[in-house]
Structure 1
Amino acid sequence: MQDVTHHLPQAGVLPRKWWHSATVYQIYPRSFADSNSDGIGDLGGIIGKLDYLEKLGIDVIWLSPIFRSPMDDNGYDISDYQDIAPEFGTLEEFDRLVRAAKDRGIGILLDLVVNHTSDEHPWFVEARASRDNPYRDFYIWRDPAPDGGVPSALQSNFGGPAWTLDPATGQYYLHLFSRRQPDLNWENPKVRAEIYRMMNWWLDRGIAGFRMDVIDLIGKQVDAGILSDGAHLHDYLQEMHRETFGPRDVLTVGETWSATPGSALLYCGRDRGELSMIFQFEHVTQRWDESFGKWRSKPFDLVALKASFTKWQQALAADGWNSLFWGNHDLPRAVSRYGDDRRFPVQSAKTLATVLHLMKGTPYIYQGEEIGMTNVPFERISEYRDIETLNMHRLSLEAGLAEDAFIKGANENSRDNARTPMQWSAAPQAGFTSGTPWIAVNPNYRQINADAAVRNEHSVFHHHAKLIALRKSHDVIVYGSYQSFLDQHPDVFVYTRVLEGERVTVIASFSGTPLELELPGELQTAGEALIWNYSPVSEVRGRMTLQPYESFAVLTRG
């Protein structure tokens, strides 16, 4: 990507970076496009869809893991960091993808999973061979408790103990996720050196950077019970920056479930020498139940959602950078979670896009979001493929949650909602494959698909494309200050972006019925209609009637 790091005149403190005005598109390779009819998406399928992504206007493709893996957790269990999983393709195909994407002005972001490996990784195979093996200290081992049981009460994120006994050596190894995902020991400098060498190997192949899986866990202090934000976490990230991507003009984004507005700048402050930005999940977890987590959701609360977004906009206003997203491979479909996918699927999907893309930060689109894909209505646990869902089904039922209640929660929040095949057309299997897909296609593909969306100039696809283009052409959308209004209104999201005499006013209804809106005098303005989902609006008046899920943005100059 080109280097554009000159300072923005009169905009204050932030130097320009190419990724400030970029939009990232996440691909879950297994579910995106299948080029060889085996029912699994692959690199060839992605290459074949680059023209579609170029038409959308995106700048970066983030690929969920494509490394060699036994696929216990769909690729987040890596057995070889420097090879491609055979079901996805080859290194030669990957290099071809990088070149073909670059020809279209698109960079490739790889998913870096270095909190843990697969139990089939050669490091772990060696580590469990004997207690004195040179690779033993690449992982985290503990002796059994005095009663012979697990060393501590730590629980896996996928359910059950975070320790598994290795009978051959008589010790337990730590795994914060699946038992087949042993955690790496980042306290060992040899581990860090190997990871940095691997990262540079990929960077030298011309990638645009890394998305870093659960990176806030690498500094864990196991015996102290500290998993996130351990004492040496930022030392490790600063070392990583120095040894790998620091001198390069690339994008790095960390997945940090533990981040708060108070800690975010430790990761992405411009003088910290760590990451470009982080993913934070406050707006996601605020709807989770205290006892059953995401498997039993709380009702949607727009006031709480606005408070979360506004808090983060303010926290990173003058330093650091926000990542803007509704969904990803671990989360439900945006229009099903935050909009109305039954009565107003198109209007609410467009409103979600408008609200997100016009905030300050780098927007991320998850595959299918640009055509309004929805959650999948599975009826039985046998239809799910996700290891987390299957594990939590068993544990939730043991804890007293009813089967139908769990299925309801899974239909709302299971990771498989995001993993059903991309809906390309109304052809069999949604045009994803001519074989049998690894997971069932959402039955609404005949109505919701990319072919229909591209042909319809009023579709969700073209709405996203227009928003992406607006970010590239308006500095006020990239760098303008953010101010929210009507924070306690239960049905509308209102904010402005202001920069050097320009103001963008964004007004969005989250109501399924028409509403009368009283706006303060300071918001009343007339200017250019930037984007809308009903009809153009160029004047913001003191009293307005909004249609269900209506949204628009007005640009005022001077």
Structure 2
Amino acid sequence: MKKNWWKESIVYQIYPKSFNDSNGDGIGDIRGIIEKLDYLKELGVNVLWISPMLESPQDDNGYDISDYRRIYKDYGTMQDYEELLFQAHERGIKVLMDLVVNHTSDEHQWFLESKKSKDNPYRDYYIWKNPVNGKEPNNWGGAFGGSAWEYDNETQMYYLHLFSKKQPDLNWENEKVRQEVYDMMKFWCDKGIDGFRMDVISMISKDQAFPDGEVKSGLYGDFGPYSVHGPRVHEFLQEMNREVLSKYDIMTVGETSGVTIEEAQKYAGEDSGELNMVFQFEHVEDTSPHAKFGKWTTDRYDFKAFKKTMIKWQEELQGKAWNSLFLGNHDQPRSVSRFGNDNPAYRETSAKMLATCLHMMQGTPYVYQGEELGMTNAYFHKLEDYKDIESIQYYTELTDAGLMEPDYMMKCLMLRSRDNARTPMQWDGSEKAGFTDGEPWIKINPNCKEINAASQLDDLDSIFHYYQKLIALRKEKDIIVYGEFEPLCREDDQIFAYTRKLDEERLLTVCNFSEQSAEFEVPAEFEGSQCLITNLDRKVFKGKIVLKPYEAFVLYK
């Protein structure tokens, strides 16, 4: 297996709006990130993926870009961004930019021109279609609810937006669009960025017949089969690689919802000529038979299905493509609330267990801001506390149509809304959590009094220090990065266990995912091994042992 710096890295995702506010306006900013670089260095991460910081009306918190070469004014200036790059590089930390090129904002100059007339030079930068029988060109629904088409009175045509109506999709069939994107990418690479996380990159190629989609639930057809992993997506990414990516020593990760093992190998195979790795979402998508409306359910995740999926990606990409390892991000609920147990009795233990399970696997681990502190869901009780466009639109659509009771939908939001991950970073136990001196743009989780960075930095037994130790181990031992993965206890209802193997070295990771005790037989070959890390105080790792709730340990020989 080839060795690469990005395989050996640990990535920390920053959601800039909620990370650290340096000027008291209630919104996180670039100078706020600079202030915390020493904290990130102490944690040990060596790559930052920062969610979009470019000029935007903020309809979808920056994933609607109106100028690809300007920094969003509330986050700072280009000089601030250049200083962030310099200061991060001084500390041995690389910076990934969030590349959003499936769509722009409807306030982008290209779209403003495109709307003016049917023969405008920019018309073909976007996807415009005539009405069919006085209605939308097809029945596709948008990812945030409602139709994926918006009517424009001026030219009496519809434009496609797979997300918000303020996020019109770019027409990648147009070579000029692709060249604009590549030129912009070179602009940032030449500034010194270290790579790209590519937003919904698997959606850039659409089936040009634009057929109706299957109506699975709700009111609209599914665009997935015609817009995800579309007919020319690999051609476009190979072109992007030739034109830009291959010319720089950078890291690339594509967000590829719905990706299969076979597709992942095309996107991120060792010699695919496309990307370094992809985000697949199978382990964080609902497999519950009762989840009629996608993620909007109160059902707890199915551990055995989750384990099976995690094992599948480890085994089937092994030696063929590289995994991204994550349990949370800006679009997911807090991982300890979802996969662990955020009850105070178990929160710390289960947060450490989840980190152990993930960081000992093969792939590049991603830590979402606050995950290293065991931050939890916010559990907002009132609709007005939610800011996320997806949460608000689905609440309205599903309750107005009588498909869901308002009380039940509120419970779904408390468990599944993207805002759970977007509450401000909890730096200390003060009223505003050390995030801002002003009024925060979204409510702060009141548990910041108990869960915050200041108290954990002082406590050597904290979740922060546990993450720090896991990260240090990964840098120290090649087996954790490159070792072969082999699962144990495949059918066990509580335990996730696996071994790693590299030449003569062996590693055993054992995690109890439940709040009940669980029996485990330590394989004879690991008797007398060194314990690299454990979240409880077990001293003996021999024969049949009884794991405590959420216990985890790693043995090495």
Q: TM-score, normalised by structure 1?
A: 0.95
**Contact 1:523 1:540 (C-alpha < 8 Å) held by counterparts:** no
The amino acid across from 1:310 in the alignment is I
Equivalents in 1 of 2:144, 2:281: separation in Å?
18
Q: CA deviation at 1:545?
A: 1.2
Question: 1:392 aligns to what?
Answer: 394
**Contact 2:51 2:97 (C-alpha < 8 Å) held by counterparts:** yes
The amino acid across from 1:247 in the alignment is K
Question: 2:112 aligns to what?
Answer: 125
1:411 aligned onto 2:397: no
1:382 aligned onto 2:369: no
Equivalents in 1 of 2:158, 2:182: separation in Å?
27
Question: 1:281 aligns to what?
Answer: 281
Question: 1:114 aligns to what?
Answer: 101
5 Å-filtered alignment, 1:280-319, equals 280-287=280-287, 289-319=290-320
Q: CA deviation at 1:248?
A: 1.5
The size of the alignment, in residue pairs, is: 540
Q: Secondary structure at the match of 1:45?
A: helix
Q: Secondary structure at the match of 1:428?
A: coil
5 Å-filtered alignment, 1:159-170, equals 159-170=145-156
Question: Structure 2 residue aligned with 1:480, among 479, 483, 489?
Answer: 483
1:246 aligned onto 2:232: no
5 Å-filtered alignment, 1:50-89, equals 50-89=37-76
Equivalents in 1 of 2:525, 2:287: separation in Å?
30
Q: CA deviation at 1:522?
A: 5.4
**Contact 2:206 2:230 (C-alpha < 8 Å) held by counterparts:** yes
Q: Which runs of 4+ in 1 moved over 6 A?
A: none
Equivalents in 2 of 1:151, 1:278: separation in Å?
32
Question: Structure 1 residue aligned with 2:121, among 134, 138, 149?
Answer: 134
Question: Structure 1 residue aligned with 2:27, among 24, 28, 40?
Answer: 40
Q: CA deviation at 1:223?
A: 2.5
Question: 1:180 aligns to what?
Answer: 166
Question: 1:458 aligns to what?
Answer: 461
Question: 1:5 aligns to what?
Answer: none
**Contact 1:268 1:321 (C-alpha < 8 Å) held by counterparts:** yes
Question: 2:367 aligns to what?
Answer: 365
Equivalents in 2 of 1:515, 1:145: separation in Å?
60
Equivalents in 2 of 1:109, 1:121: separation in Å?
23
Equivalents in 1 of 2:369, 2:38: separation in Å?
15
Per-residue Cα deviation, 1:35-85 (whole angstroms, up to 9, x for no partner): 000000000100000000000000101000000000000000000000000
Q: CA deviation at 1:542?
A: 2.8
Per-residue Cα deviation, 1:68-126 (whole angstroms, up to 9, x for no partner): 00000000000000000000001000000000000000011000000000000000000
1:207 aligned onto 2:193: yes
- The range that moved more, 521-530 or 368-377, is 521-530
Question: 1:530 aligns to what?
Answer: 532
Question: 1:4 aligns to what?
Answer: none
Equivalents in 2 of 1:185, 1:399: separation in Å?
36
Question: 2:142 aligns to what?
Answer: 156
Q: Per the alignment, do residues 222 and 337 of structure 1 end up closer, same or farther by CA in structure 2, a change over 3 Å counting?
A: farther
**Contact 2:526 2:556 (C-alpha < 8 Å) held by counterparts:** no
Per-residue Cα deviation, 1:287-308 (whole angstroms, up to 9, x for no partner): 4554111111433222111110
Equivalents in 2 of 1:374, 1:507: separation in Å?
24
The amino acid across from 1:492 in the alignment is I
Question: 1:10 aligns to what?
Answer: none
- The range that moved more, 255-264 or 93-102, is 255-264
Taking only aligned residues, the RMSD between alpha carbons, in angstroms, comes to 1.1
The amino acid across from 1:103 in the alignment is E
The amino acid across from 1:470 in the alignment is L
Q: CA deviation at 1:222?
A: 4.6
The amino acid across from 2:166 in the alignment is R
**Contact 2:9 2:364 (C-alpha < 8 Å) held by counterparts:** yes
The amino acid across from 2:15 in the alignment is Y
Question: 1:9 aligns to what?
Answer: none
1:145 aligned onto 2:129: no
Question: 2:328 aligns to what?
Answer: 327
Equivalents in 2 of 1:193, 1:297: separation in Å?
45
Question: 1:353 aligns to what?
Answer: 355
Question: 2:266 aligns to what?
Answer: 266
Question: 2:436 aligns to what?
Answer: 433
Equivalents in 1 of 2:282, 2:487: separation in Å?
18
Q: CA deviation at 1:524?
A: 4.4
Equivalents in 2 of 1:523, 1:392: separation in Å?
53
Between the aligned residues of both structures, percent identity stands at 49
Q: CA deviation at 1:514?
A: 2.3
5 Å-filtered alignment, 1:181-196, equals 181-196=167-182
The amino acid across from 1:351 in the alignment is M
Q: CA deviation at 1:541?
A: 2.5
Q: CA deviation at 1:407?
A: 1.1
Note the residue ranges of structure 1 that are not aligned, 5 or more in a row. 1-13
Q: Secondary structure at the match of 1:207?
A: coil
The amino acid across from 2:471 in the alignment is I
Equivalents in 2 of 1:523, 1:123: separation in Å?
63
**Contact 1:524 1:542 (C-alpha < 8 Å) held by counterparts:** no
1:104 aligned onto 2:91: yes
The amino acid across from 1:527 in the alignment is S
- The range that moved more, 52-61 or 14-23, is 14-23
The amino acid across from 1:260 in the alignment is T
Question: 1:449 aligns to what?
Answer: 452
5 Å-filtered alignment, 1:533-544, equals 533-535=535-537, 537=539, 540-544=541-545
The amino acid across from 2:502 in the alignment is L
Q: CA deviation at 1:523?
A: 5.9
Equivalents in 2 of 1:549, 1:470: separation in Å?
21
Note the residue ranges of structure 2 that are not aligned, 5 or more in a row. 212-225
Q: Per the alignment, do residues 166 and 366 of structure 1 end up closer, same or farther by CA in structure 2, a change over 3 Å counting?
A: same
Q: Secondary structure at the match of 2:209?
A: helix
The amino acid across from 1:185 in the alignment is N
Q: CA deviation at 1:339?
A: 0.3
Equivalents in 2 of 1:515, 1:71: separation in Å?
47
**Contact 2:286 2:294 (C-alpha < 8 Å) held by counterparts:** no
**Contact 2:286 2:301 (C-alpha < 8 Å) held by counterparts:** no
Per-residue Cα deviation, 1:13-51 (whole angstroms, up to 9, x for no partner): x21100111100000000000000000000010000000
Q: Per the alignment, do residues 155 and 255 of structure 1 end up closer, same or farther by CA in structure 2, a change over 3 Å counting?
A: same
**Contact 1:287 1:297 (C-alpha < 8 Å) held by counterparts:** no
- The range that moved more, 269-278 or 242-251, is 242-251
